[in-house]
Amino acid sequence: MPNAKDYLYTALTVEQKSGDEPFLNANCSTSLSDFHAWAYSNLMGNTERS
């Protein structure tokens, strides 16, 4: 098993999102939850769902 010093980068800190986060560098008012509501709304053709 590799040691921590064998990796080039440190571990990322993960935090749960609220959904109200805006898209960065986007000239729009769309939030993260707006994107997910749109992207995964098609139940028949959505291959992301199991």
Q: Which 8-state DSSP code applies to residue 38? A: H
**8-17 — which CB contacts under 8 Å span 24+ positions?**
none
- pLDDT for the residue numbered 38: 84
What is the length of the chain? 50
The model's pTM: 0.53
Q: What is the dihedral of CA 5, 7, 12, 13, to 10 degrees?
A: -20
Query: For position 10, what pLDDT does the model report?
Result: 85
First-to-last alpha carbon distance for the chain, in angstroms, is 33
Which amino acid is it at 30?
T
Over residues 17-36, the pLDDT tens digits come to 999 999 888 888 889 999 88
Say whether pLDDT at 11 is over 70: yes
Q: What percent of the chain has pLDDT over 70?
A: 84
Please report the pLDDT score of residue 48 as a whole number: 63
What is the overall mean pLDDT for the chain? Answer: 81
